Amino acid sequence: MTLLLFGASGFIGRAVLNQLALLEVERIICVRRELTGMEPCPNDKVEWQALDILKPDLSQLNRLIEESDTVINCTGELENAATMTEINLGFVKRLTALLKASTKAHRFIQLSSVGCYGAVHFYRGQAKHITEASAERPAGLYESSKTQADDFIREQIAEQIDEQIDEQTAHLSYTIIRPTNVFGQGMKSQALLSLANMIRARRFFFIGPRTAVSTYIEVNDVARLFALCITRPEASKNQVFIASNDCLQTELVESIAAYHQVSPPSLRLPERPIRALSRLLNRLPIGFPLNQSRIDSLTSQVEFSHEKAEQALGFKPEQPVPVQILSFLEQHSNRRTNETNTIENTPQ
């Protein structure tokens, strides 16, 4: 089996590559815009090729697809609005078209996001259990572009149409993986580390309900779900899976406080006045840290279920997030120490 992996140099893609390298496959072809010689290469199954997904050489892209059995897309643009739609949606459309044009059997595994459900914002103030069958209500450009890509895949790659096998797509199947907030070493987002720093500095306070949920999942758990989808193709055929490891916010906060050896925060303020204060102060150029989106996250009672992935594939996160966060913070601390020592010992 040959795997074609896009986004292998990214945060999640790198973890996926490490998991795929453990599988009994012949080749893992990884793609990035420019090769530097510093690309991750877990073993001799892995090879790298240069390809710009924004302006791909279609003959090269088609050749790579024809050489592979499974195409895995871990690309995604979260920050740059100028390229977000093209990377998150346009590239998926291009891949899907080439897969449909091929006569070879292929699987297409797509990294998406639970942001497709828009649940944290839509169900503000409500306790809600989200599954793969929940309504999709994307709120922002990133979420909308990912949802459109998922919908396009499902529309174009179907097992049956009107109870008849579609000859154009009979050789294709898809799997879509939607993780919650992914954390781990090398992540770009600083939100979780900012939370930890606030707790350590004793500046964190709870807002709203005691039943608030933290929706995080460790990056290696997400990567293991990709591997399970590859090793169990029939169970994951034409399916969407949520990857989650939710916990109560109080459990996460208490674990972080214990790591930093400080007392867990006890102050809890009502949500409505904090929202009003946020609206007022965010009109001023003072850098108030709490905006409405952040308050949504801190007060959300929405939980995401990984029950479908567990039943179909045997997927379970290795440990609860309040336990995993301890290892994450320790590794982060060690890395910062090593970086500081390297700078201090570098000759000036």
Q: How many CB atoms lie within 10 A of CB 117?
A: 26
Mean pLDDT of 300-327: 97
Mean pLDDT of 327-347: 77
Residues 96 and 174 sit within 8 Å (Cβ to Cβ): no
| Confidence class for position 283, pLDDT limits 50, 70, 90 | confident
Question: Model's pTM, two decimal places?
Answer: 0.92
| Confidence class for position 162, pLDDT limits 50, 70, 90 | very low
CA distances from 187 to 10, 181, 182, 184, 258 (A): 9, 11, 8, 6, 23
What is the rounded CA–CA span in Å between residue 330 and residue 315? 26
343, two tokens: 């700078």
Instruction: Give the pLDDT of residue 262.
Output: 97
CA distances from 183 to 60, 81, 186 (A): 33, 22, 9
Instruction: Give the pLDDT of residue 245.
Output: 98
pLDDT score of 163 more than 50 = no
- Length, in residues, of the chain: 348
Report the chain's mean pLDDT, rounded to a whole number. 92
Say which DSSP state 136 is in: P
pLDDT score of 169 more than 60 = no
For 61, how many CA atoms within 13 A lie in the half-sphere containing its CB? Answer: 20
pLDDT score of 13 more than 80 = yes
Smallest CA-to-CA distance from 227 within 319, 314, 132, 112 is with: 314
DSSP per-residue string spanning 152-192? HHHHHS-S-BTTB--TTTTTEEEEEEEESEEE-TT-S--HH
